[in-house]
Amino acid sequence: MRTPIIAGNWKMNKTIAEATALVREMRRELNEIEGVEKVLCPPFTALSAVAELLQATKIKLGAQEMHCEEKGAFTGAISPLMLKELCQYVIIGHSERRKYFGETDEGVNRKVKVAFQHGLIPIICVGENLEQNEAGQTEEWVSGQVRAALDGLAAEQVKELVMAYEPIWAIGTGKPATAAGANAIIGLVIRGTVASMFGEDAAQAVRVQYGGSVKPANVVEFMTQPEIDGALVGGACLAADKFVAIARLAAEIKGTHK
């Protein structure tokens, strides 16, 4: 049984003081929720402070991005060596990184391999834009992203990683994909592609989140779908009550300790 995972991507929000206040506000309730993995992904500047606050909890910490080199003349970059001291997870290939910072499929693949080398679990983002969706290219595009991201990995590594299906047209727009539609893409396209590359065992083991305008009001629709193993939450994770509610609802529906 796949353990559901709810991750909050804070994006470029919260100063250190604001981050610690948010964590203190949600920490106790979030930690008490059983049967679902909880991950907070604050900005780099707040990772150390948040890590300290999470030490005595079951809540995990993730970074929003990572460079593929361990060290060197890469001004402004953050290496896996810097993250492994603090984090358990790292988001790789988010659509905003692809759109605004030139992230490529090849770069995603390199980072995924480096993450594993340093004991970090990658959360790999895939998803199509509105034009691709309306042109009927979703399956081809998403399958291609999955193949590129996982190229050269071992089946055992694939079983450990997390994938996030984020239709780009649903991110931050307040217009989520339908739960049934997201479930179909995750089951047929993402798991189907993994199965063709690594076998059915790997396809059934890998956890796949849905991301894109997830909030307490709609999370139940997504969590009741059999192929969706959690959510990569954006805006709603910046409010303690909303993120706790999302995690609690996910645990009630999909929790492994029910």
Instruction: Catalogue the active-site residues.
Output: 94, 166
3-state secondary structure of 234: coil
Residue 90 pairs in a beta bridge with 63, 122
Residue type, 59: I
Tokens of 45: 């500047």
Distance between CA atoms of 202 and 200, rounded to whole angstroms? Answer: 5
Task: Answer yes or no: are the C-beta atoms of 199 and 221 closer than 8 Å.
Answer: no
The radius of gyration of the chain from alpha carbons, rounded to an integer in Å, stands at: 17
Please, what is the angle between helix 16-32 and helix 47-54, to 10°? 30
